[in-house]
Amino acid sequence: MTNSNEFLPGPVLLLGAPGVGKGTQAKRLMERFGIPQISTGDLLRQNRKDRTPLGIFADELIDRGELVPDDLVNQMVAERFKQPDTARGYILDGFPRTLGQAEWLDGVLATSLLPVVAINIVVPEKVLLERITGRLICPVCGTIYNIYSNPPKNDRVCDHEGAKLEQRADDSEAVFYDRMKAFEAKTAAVIEYYRHHGGRFSEVDGDRNVDVVTEGILAALLAMRQQTVS
């Protein structure tokens, strides 16, 4: 068991295709180290809600049907880094999503105590497809099943409530492949960027028990931090 008191986690980026379990592992790291998750989606919504100058500008762009550019997202992230809860580190969620954002992030953190380390969670595409298209949810209690790995006792009926299980509209094969294409088009370049920055990239097998994956991530994180501070 990796001892979380041995080192500061610093900035951590979890990478991987849709369905690899980034969200689950991010929550575990947050609980273990007491660090926040920084989500660009959450930042954008909060800035718009609070009517900050950045949020107002984003509203104007969205009202005109324009995409929020990288530099505006970068500014929101930079402001979030100034908050005291980021002192020990943080989990980046949905950022950097592009090569330009990754390069900007390295520039911003060049004078920081610790650089970003990236951990790529790897799961075979066939397994990812089954995880997503096989997912069924009970509309009453919210229990999640999977027809391939965790099926209900009775076909498409919740073990606890007896309710008919439902499949989300976006848990389809067509949507899965659309998301994979989007991932390959943008985020794959981010993976290669960190892969070629020695000592700051590691891969973990995500096709294992959730606890085993967590331990793999912690071990990789510790090893990379030992390199970045040596």
Q: So which residues are the catalytic ones?
A: 22, 97, 135, 168, 179
Q: Which residue shows structure tokens 């097998």? A: 205
Q: What is the DSSP letter of 164?
A: B
Residue among 68, 17, 60 at smallest CA distance from 188: 17
* SS3 track for 15-34: ECCCCCCHHHHHHHHHHHHC
Residue 174 exposure: Cα atoms within 13 Å on the Cβ side: 3
Q: Which of 136, 150, 119, 146 is nearest to 224 (CA)?
A: 119
Collapsing DSSP states into helix, strand and coil, what is residue 224? helix
